[in-house]
Structure 1
Amino acid sequence: MLDRTSQAAGTIVSTRPTEWPTVILALVIHGGFFALTWWWQSLSPVVAIIVGGWLIAWHGSLQHEVIHGHPTGKQGINDAIGSIPLSLWLPYPIYRESHLEHHRDEYLTDPIEDPESSYFTKAAWEQLGATGRLLARWNTTLFGRLTIGPAVMLLSFLGQEWWLIRTNEPGRRRIWAEHGIGVAALLCWAILVCGVPLWLYLAFIYTGAAMTRLRSYAEHRYADSHEERTAIVENSRLFGLLFLYNNLHVLHHRRPGISWYRLPEVYRKNRETLVQSNGGLVYDGYWDIARRFFLKPHDDPTHPHHS
């Protein structure tokens, strides 16, 4: 029987045993990052960028995992694991707060209530201007999401954060100050100790953001019933591992406390129920998504309830 957990965050299990696969994964990701930055000169720039992007995206998947209460029963330890800022631009406390808001499923895709929505209100759409609307439409295609999508995401996020800092949003300056210390330490290691060029590290970040945008591209789509707004991407072993099986997204929203390495088995046992519950919003791997939406929009960029 698959039922929805009453704790969307999945974070309050003080008796939860340590999940060693996730601990090992964290060691692999962080160890891989330090190995890459130390031996980067032994790789071609293209290989280094692909490996660096994979590690950055994988680390984002790990952060998502610890937000939901893994790998230990003590959230302070989990947060410490997730707070190392490999991507540089996203403070973990901000990600944690906004992602838990995203798990209010009744508001999924709403551009005002859902902080991870890709939709616009009519007023916001009109304020974009002709060039902005052109770029936004491009960003609704998979090609656009992988090329300009990371830049749109980064600039939009940093612009919003700069406004919150300038208006003295409570706690924001402290979060960014603490985040800045971690960023400075990482850059000292990568650039000063290891000699990684800044452009190469930024390429790691952009590539990792593009990989993450692939995962989120078709995760949600507006439907009248909020239970039908979350997709499933099946048959994706490589990207499934990169995304820690968050491609089985409707299961994650229904049971956010399930560990990443248990998701495939639970999904297989409950596939019929899950597919029925989300109205059959299922893709046969990311090639299926590319085939449908590489140069075609995934959806209208304006939200139907804010038009």
Structure 2
Amino acid sequence: MTDIFPNPAAPAIRLRGAKKRYRIEWPTIALLAACYGLWICAGYLLYPTLPFISLMLMGIAVALHSSLQHEVLHGHPTRNARLNEAFVFLPIGIFYPYRSYKRTHLQHHADERLTDPFDDPESYYRAMGDWKKMPSFLKILLGWNNTFIGRLIIGPPLMVVGFTLAEWRKITHGDRRVIHAWTLHLAGLIPTLLVISFVFGIPIWLYVSVAAYLGVSIIAIRSYCEHQWSEQPDGRTIIVENSILAPLFLYNNLHFVHHKMPNAAWYKLPSLYSARRAEWQKMNDGYVFHNYFEVFRAFAFNAKEPVAHPALRLTDAVSRTSPILPVADDIPAYVARE
């Protein structure tokens, strides 16, 4: 994939040496501190007296942490990948190993493969051959999942179960990268669960079913309509211009700008968009919503897309690893080395 603009940092790093390489983006550091601070204060201070509010705030912290993990895998807030990973090491969202998320998400950034049922690991489309073989109850679930309300309510378990089944199948086939990702995930998950249970006094089942679930559901608001099928790759990625949730999403509501400039820091996306608003909208063929309420009104109970891909993989008969969500083979050209 090529950015619409070249990355100005790359030549500066080579020319100016180590000093430039370790540049720190302090707004992201501050947001990381705020995220963990919110999570700790909500769990330790609020849960004993206001358990419902505590769990809601922890769910918001989980969603923000997910957004920060996305920022980190794109090379922020420093030039040191190991240090960046350390900033988001504790998996307060419980479900997803960071290394696996990094691998599949960078694969997703191959814009010419976006929405492909096999090659885009974040596609919600299914190949026609797989769709025809599905049992009726799964077709119904996936149909509901393509509505806005459905994605928020049943989307989290579908995503988590599908992702986990796919990962564990790779583990049984000896994929060392996936084994390493889950080993690191468990190393962070154990102390996280101990803090939740023994320091905060929150039952694990309650935290998982409310705070962690809510965090995934909030992120699903953003991801619900991020991509659609279009003959032109640039027409496949959305722009949602305004939202009170934009800071929580680190402005990835301007998703087309992010896909064209994946190395741009989150706090630069609004100004990058406003500077060339008309041009951005022309490039993505007008796939633009003013806000997420507009998305809600259009697709609350109406499926935005068919489950079966309308153009790709119409005759493929390859079965998926997971019966719920797509799994693609790794494409090394699009995956940064860990």
TM over 0.5: yes
Match of 1:198 among 194, 201, 204: 204
> Who is 1:274 aligned against?
280
Tell me which residue corresponds to 1:215: 222
Is the aligned partner of 1:292 residue 2:295? no
Q: 1:142-153 counterparts in 2 under 5 A?
A: 142-153=148-159
Greater shift in the superposed pair: 176-185 or 202-211: 176-185
Q: Which residue of 1 aligns with 2:4?
A: 4
CA distance in 1, matches of 2:59, 2:268: 25
Offset of 1:186 from its aligned partner?
0.4
2:57 is the alignment partner of 1:51:
yes
Give 1:276 shift: 0.1
1:196-236 residue CA offsets vs partner (Å, 9 max, x unmatched): 11233111110000001111001000000011000000121
Task: Report the counterpart of residue 99 of structure 1 in structure 2.
Answer: 105
Q: Which runs of 5+ in 1 are unaligned?
A: none
Indicate which of 313, 317, 332 corresponds to 1:306: 313
Q: Aligned partners of 1:197 and 1:30: how far apart in 2?
A: 19
Q: Which stretch shows the higher mean deviation, 243-252 or 25-34?
A: 25-34
Does structure 1 residue 250 correspond to structure 2 residue 269? no
TM-score when scaled to structure 2? Answer: 0.85
AA at the equivalent of 2:4: R
SS at 1:306's partner residue? Answer: coil
State whether residues 83 and 91 of structure 1, in contact with CA within 8 Å, keep that contact through their aligned partners in structure 2: no
C-alpha contact 2:240 2:289 (8 A) present in aligned 1:
yes
Q: Deviations over 1:257-302 (max 9, x none)?
A: 1111111111101111100000001001010000000001111111
CA distance in 2, matches of 1:287, 1:196: 33
Q: Which residue of 2 aligns with 1:172?
A: 178
Which of 222, 230, 241 is the aligned partner of 1:234? 241
Is 2:156–2:213's contact at 8 Å kept on the other side of the alignment?
A: yes
CA deviation digits over 1:76-124, x for unaligned, max 9? 2112212221111111111111111011110011111111111001122
Distance apart, 1:6 and its partner CA: 5.6
* AA at the equivalent of 1:191: S
Q: For 2:62 and 2:176, locate their aligned partners in 1 and report how far apart those are by CA, in whole Å.
A: 29
Q: For 2:89 and 2:133, how far apart are their aligned partners in 1?
A: 35
Aligned residue number for residue 82 of structure 1: 88
Equivalent position amino acid for 1:306 in 2? R
TM-score, normalization by structure 1: 0.94
How far apart are residue 133 of structure 1 and its match? 0.2
> How many aligned residue pairs are there?
302
Q: Percent identity?
A: 36
For residues 202 and 52 of structure 2, the distance between their equivalents in structure 1, rounded to whole angstroms, comes to: 14
Asked if 1:264 corresponds to 2:270, the answer is: yes
Kindly state the Cα deviation for residue 248 of structure 1 after the two structures are TM-superposed.
0.2
Q: Find the aligned partners of 2:194 and 2:230 in 1 and give their Cα distance.
A: 47
> How far is the alpha carbon of 1:156 from its aligned partner?
0.5
Higher helix share: 1
SS at match of 2:146: coil
Aligned in 2, Cα 1:124/1:85: closer, same or farther, shift over 3 Å? same
Q: Distance in 2 between matches of 1:22 and 1:171?
A: 28
Could you tell me whether the CA contact under 8 Å between 1:5 and 1:256 is conserved in 2?
no
Q: Which moved more, 1:59-68 or 1:126-135?
A: 126-135
SS in 2 for 1:264: helix
In structure 2, give the amino acid aligned to 1:83.
F
| Matching residue of 1:132 | 138
Secondary structure of 2:312's partner?
Answer: helix
Name the CA shift for 1:38/1:186 in 2 (closer, same or farther; >3 Å). Answer: same
